[in-house]
């Protein structure tokens, strides 16, 4: 359980996190979604007590992180990839963390095995790829078998297999009743991994909702339609204020009208429909909700 | 938490109800210190500097030279060793900022003063042991070379002079007066000087650790450390004698010089504190720098 209340962080004149309140509950994967530079990492650092908030509070398991007696047994975090001394081995890195929190040495080898780094555990970490660095970070997070896990952009630098592995890991951890908070700027990734979402843009909370609700709230919902009389339907839809895109497979994608509206419209002009499927991409929903809040806009 | 995902090792520490404390933090720091090669290499380099310069400085003396202070001569390598040692002291914390491991460290031990204290105690203990070993080796090697050369030391000269004048040297003093220009640990002030040299080196390592804690960047902290031990004395020397005489005694380098001399500072340096008064001042500097570092560590985001 993570509870943020009015969390605010300023860097000089820049407000990185602005009055942010949200809850992260156990037993589900909560996605922390926002464009790059929206304050996700800063928020995670504040949860971990590494950055001090300018205002507001955040608690983990009802306490400030600072007050956790054995923090690594309560909270595991992957905050940045390859945050390891290049001259130190993966095993030694984990061993220093284990020593500080009275975690048995044998657990170090267990988590190394778990993330698939056993064969390189004694090698200097400077030679690690970004993906191996991520795996080591995840191993460090799992070291204390904690009930709360924070992963900041965990799939960065991972190959497709690694991405799937992280996805499954997150879901399994949540299924065991743990609190799992995963940040990403990739909406598609969140759609596959998360059950709940905390969406931020420019440091402000945009939405705190389930993934399905988040998608449903999008007005950019589109409807996939198949009909033997496309021309008549296109005219009717256009007249009703919708837009139509011809898809290569012969179907039409209608935006601006809901699925029931398209169905009613087709009935009113006596056009048969072979398919009527509401389609909403999380990507679209995300883009729409953060449009106002994107910090850095590319192009033009 | 229920043990899953390969967590077969029980993690509970029922026998230790408390919380992450100094002992655990020190254990982690110990592992950290010895799990990177740079630690061993900087220590070896310091040893080479301290002992190597003892060999060179004493070896360069001819048999007829009067050695002002054979102890000091054999320990002069401290001034080179302190620079390398300072780098290690800085790295103890700046490497954590450079690599990002400070976040892991502070996540594991959220009470930041405990982290710094653990670093000070672990590195301080290693620094002290290693420094004392190096200085004793340097002293032994240096004196062996001097005595092989039979260089004439001032006390030996005095003894000879006294003998020629027919003065009676008390038997108690006889053992203390060397026949050559080499020193032995039994002579007045010699043991204090050799131990003092090691203390000086160790405390400077901690001073560097303090600077690293404040500055956080390796290069910047090393530059600051070099500024304190190398540049500051040059600036003071360039000042008018009236001012430099008043200021010189406060410089760490001059405090160190007194600490590993048996007969005070060379005249050119001017008035000085006694070895232990100087050492107390040096410790005071270091405590102030470390306290400032602790304040910065607690106040600033990691």
Whole-number pLDDT of residue B10: 58
Binary contact (B38, A142; C-beta < 8 A): no
Interchain proximity B6–A114, CB inside 8 Å: yes
pLDDT tier, B148 (very low <50, low <70, confident <90, very high otherwise): confident
Query: Can you give the pLDDT at residue A156?
Result: 86
CB contacts of B301 in chain A (<8 Å) are 45, 50-52
Highest mean pLDDT out of A212-216, A275-279, B38-42 = B38-42
pLDDT class for B111, splitting at 50, 70, 90? very high
ipTM at complex level: 0.84
pLDDT of B188 over the 90 cut: no
Does pLDDT of B196 surpass 80? yes
| Mean per-residue pLDDT over chain A, rounded | 89
pLDDT higher than threshold 80 for residue B264: no
Angle at A257 between CA A254 and CA A260, to 5 degrees: 105
Q: pLDDT tier at A259 (50, 70, 90 boundaries)?
A: confident
Q: B64 pLDDT exceeds 80?
A: no
What is the phi/psi pair of residue A85, to 5°?
A: -65, 125
Q: Would you say residue B68 has pLDDT above 90? A: no
Q: Report whether A28 contacts A50 (CB < 8 A).
A: no
Among the residue ranges A128-132, A217-221, B38-42, B51-55, the one predicted with the least confidence is: A217-221
- Pick from A88, A101, A169: CB nearest B36: A88
Which residues are paired to A225 by β-bridges? A252, A276
**Structural domain of residue B285, as residue ranges?**
22-299
Output the pLDDT for position B99: 93
Q: Which among A83, A87, A103 is the nearest to B11, CB-wise? A: A103
A148-181 residue pLDDT tens: 999 999 998 889 999 999 999 999 999 999 999 9
In a domain, B205, yes or no: yes
- Nearest CB among B29, B95, B107 relative to A48 is that of B107
A74-95 residue pLDDT tens: 999 999 878 899 999 999 999 9
Put simply, the answer to whether B6 touches A111 (Cβ < 8 Å) is yes
CA-nearest residue of chain A to B35?
A88
* Residue B11: per-residue pLDDT: 61
With a cut of 80, say whether residue A217 has pLDDT above it. no
Q: Is residue B12 part of a domain?
A: no
Interface mutation target, options A96, A177, A178, chain B, most CBs of B under 10 Å: A96
Domain segments of chain A as ranges: 2-211, 222-279
Q: Please report the pLDDT score of residue B178 as a whole number.
A: 46
Which site among A74, A102, A128, A179 would you substitute to test the B interface, given the most B Cβ atoms closer than 10 Å to its Cβ? A102
pLDDT-above-90 percentage for chain B: 67
pLDDT for B3 equals: 37
Q: B253 by DSSP, 3-state: which? A: helix
Which residue among A92, A176, A177 places its CB closest to the CB of B35? A92
Query: Each residue of A216-246: b (16+ CB within 10 Å) or e?
Result: eebeebbbbbbbeebeebbebbeeeebebee
Residue B212: pLDDT above 90? yes
| CB-closest option in A52, A68, A142 to B5 | A142
Whether B1 has a pLDDT exceeding 80, the answer reads: no
Distance from CA of B135 to the nearest CA of A (A): 29
Whether residues B1 and A145 touch (CB distance < 8 A) is answered with yes
Cα(A127)–Cα(A86) distance, rounded to whole angstroms? 7
Q: Is residue B195 part of a domain?
A: yes
Q: Which residue of B has its CA nearest to A147?
A: B1
CB-based contact A96 B35, cutoff 8 Å: yes
pLDDT in tens, B2-14: 434 555 555 655 4
Question: In which band, very low, low, confident or very high, does the pLDDT at B16 lie, cut at 50, 70 and 90?
Answer: low
- What is the mean predicted confidence (pLDDT) over B19-38? 95
Question: In chain B, which residues have their Cβ closer than 8 Å to the Cβ of A104?
Answer: 9-11
Give the pLDDT of residue B179.
46
Find out if CATH 3.30.2290.10 is the number for domain A2-211.
no
- Please report, for chain A, how many H helices and E strands are present, in that order: 11, 13
Å between B96 CA and nearest CA of chain A: 7
Least confident of A168-172, A239-243, B32-36, B49-53: A239-243
Check residue B173 and give its pLDDT. 54
State the total domains in chain B: 1
CB neighbourhood size of B161 (10 A) = 10
Q: Is the pLDDT of residue B74 over 90?
A: yes
The closest CB to that of B36, out of A50, A87, A178, belongs to A87
Which residues does chain A have within 8 Å of residue B106's beta carbon, measured at their own beta carbons? 49-50
pLDDT band at A296 (very low <50, low <70, confident <90, very high): low
Res B2: pLDDT: 40
Task: Tokens for A56, please give them.
Answer: 């507001």
Q: Which of B40, B104, B111 to probe by mutation at the A interface, max A CB count within 10 Å? A: B104
pLDDT > 70: what percent of chain B?
Answer: 82
Q: Model confidence at A247, in pLDDT bands (50, 70, 90)? A: confident
**Per-residue model confidence as pLDDT tens digits over A32-57:** 999 888 999 999 999 999 999 999 99
Distance from CA of B11 to the nearest CA of A (A): 6
The verdict on residue B247 lying in a domain is yes
Instruction: Measure in Å the smallest separation between the Cα of B219 and chain A Cα atoms.
Output: 16
pLDDT surpassing 90 at residue B104: yes
Q: What's the Cα-to-Cα distance from A222 to each of A9, A268, A279, B66, rounded to whole Å? A: 38, 20, 5, 98
Q: What pLDDT is recorded for position A286?
A: 73
CB A45 to CB B6 under 8 A?
Answer: no
Distance from CA of A216 to the nearest CA of B (A): 34
Q: Return the DSSP state at B229.
A: I
Question: Which phi-psi region, left, alpha or beta, contains residue A157 (left: φ > 0; alpha: ψ -120 to 50)?
Answer: left
What pLDDT, on the 0 to 100 scale, is given for residue B90? 97
Chain A residues within an 8 Å CB radius of B6: 110-111, 113-114
Under CATH, what is the fold of the domain A222-279? Alpha-Beta Plaits (3.30.70)
Chain A hits for B105, CB-CB cut-off 8 Å, are: 96, 100
Structure tokens at A259: 């699925």
In angstroms, rounded to a whole number, what is the distance separating the alpha carbons of residues A142 and A151?
11
Interface residues from chain B to A (CB-CB < 8 Å): 1-11, 13, 16, 18-20, 24-25, 27-32, 35-38, 95-96, 99-101, 103-111, 301-302
For the cut 90, the answer to whether the pLDDT of residue A250 exceeds it is no
- Ramachandran bin of B273, using left for φ above 0, alpha for ψ from -120 to 50, beta for the remaining angles: beta
Q: Which of B19, B24, B99 shows the shortest C-beta gap to A99? A: B24
pLDDT given for residue B175 in this prediction: 46
**Average pLDDT of span A107-111:** 95
Confirm whether B8 is domain-assigned. Answer: no
What whole-number distance in Å separates Cα of residue B207 and Cα of residue B279? Answer: 13
- Which CA distances in Å does B16 have to A102, B12, B291? 9, 9, 30
Cβ within 8 Å, pair A70-B37: no
What average pLDDT does the structure give for chain B?
87
- Considering the domain boundaries, does residue B145 fall inside one? yes
Measured in angstroms, the CA of B85 and the nearest CA of chain A are apart by: 19
Size of interface A-B (CB pairs under 8 A): 141
């Amino acid at each position: 359980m993570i509870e943020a209340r009015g969390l605010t962080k300023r860097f000089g004149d820049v407000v990185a996190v602005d009055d942010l309140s949200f809850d992260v509950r156990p037993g589900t994967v909560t996605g922390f979604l926002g464009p790059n530079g929206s304050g996700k990492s800063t928020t995670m650092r504040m949860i971990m007590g590494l950055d001090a908030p300018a205002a507001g509070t955040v608690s983990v398991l009802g306490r400030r992180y600072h007050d956790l007696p054995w923090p690594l047994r309560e909270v595991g975090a992957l905050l940045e990839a390859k945050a390891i001394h290049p001259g130190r081995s993966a095993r030694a890195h984990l061993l220093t963390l284990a020593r500080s929190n009275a975690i048995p040495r044998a657990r170090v080898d267990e988590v190394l095995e778990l993330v698939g780094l056993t064969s390189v555990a004694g090698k200097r970490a400077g030679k690690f790829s970004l993906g191996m660095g991520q795996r080591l970070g995840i191993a460090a997070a799992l070291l204390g078998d904690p009930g709360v896990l924070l992963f900041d952009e965990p799939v960065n630098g991972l190959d497709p297999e690694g991405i799937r592995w992280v996805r499954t890991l997150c879901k399994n951890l949540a299924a065991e009743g743990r609190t799992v908070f995963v940040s990403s700027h990739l909406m598609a990734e969140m759609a596959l991994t998360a059950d709940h979402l905390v969406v931020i843009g420019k440091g402000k909370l945009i939405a705190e909702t389930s993934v399905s609700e988040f998608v449903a709230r999008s007005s950019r919902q589109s409807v996939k339609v198949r009909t033997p009389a496309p021309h008549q339907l296109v005219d009717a839809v256009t007249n009703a204020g919708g837009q139509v895109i011809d898809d290569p497979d012969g179907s039409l994608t209608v935006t601006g009208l809901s699925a029931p509206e398209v169905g009613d419209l087709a009935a009113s002009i006596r056009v048969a429909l072979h398919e009527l499927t509401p389609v909403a991409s999380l990507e679209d929903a995300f883009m729409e909700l953060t449009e106002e809040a994107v910090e850095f806009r590319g192009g033009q | 938490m229920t043990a899953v995902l390969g967590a077969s090792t029980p993690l509970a520490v029922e026998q230790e109800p408390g919380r992450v404390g100094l002992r655990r933090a020190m254990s982690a720091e110990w592992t950290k210190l010895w799990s990177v090669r740079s630690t061993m290499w900087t220590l070896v380099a310091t040893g080479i500097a301290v002992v190597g310069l003892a060999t060179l400085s004493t070896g360069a003396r001819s048999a007829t030279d009067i050695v002002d202070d054979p102890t000091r001569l054999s320990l002069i390598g401290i001034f080179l060793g302190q620079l390398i040692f300072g780098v290690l002291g800085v790295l103890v914390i700046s490497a954590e900022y450079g690599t990002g491991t400070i976040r892991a460290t502070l996540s594991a031990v959220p009470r930041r003063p405990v982290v710094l204290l653990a670093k000070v105690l672990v590195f301080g203990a290693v620094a002290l042991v290693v420094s004392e070993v190096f200085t004793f080796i340097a002293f032994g090697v240096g004196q062996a070379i001097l005595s092989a050369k039979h260089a004439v030391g001032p006390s030996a000269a005095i003894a000879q002079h006294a003998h020629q004048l027919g003065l009676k040297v008390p038997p108690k003093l006889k053992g203390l007066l060397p026949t050559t220009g080499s020193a032995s640990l039994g002579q007045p002030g010699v043991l204090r000087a050799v131990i003092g040299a090691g203390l000086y080196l160790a405390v400077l390592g901690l001073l560097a650790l303090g600077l690293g804690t404040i500055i956080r960047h390796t290069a910047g902290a090393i530059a600051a450390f070099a500024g304190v031990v190398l540049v500051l004395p040059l600036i003071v020397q360039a000042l008018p004698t009236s001012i430099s005489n008043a200021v010189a005694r406060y410089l760490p380098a001059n405090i160190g010089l007194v600490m590993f001399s048996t007969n005070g500072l060379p005249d050119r340096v001017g008035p000085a504190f006694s070895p232990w008064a100087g050492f107390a001042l040096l410790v005071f500097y270091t405590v102030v720098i470390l306290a400032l570092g602790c304040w910065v560590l607690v106040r600033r985001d990691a």
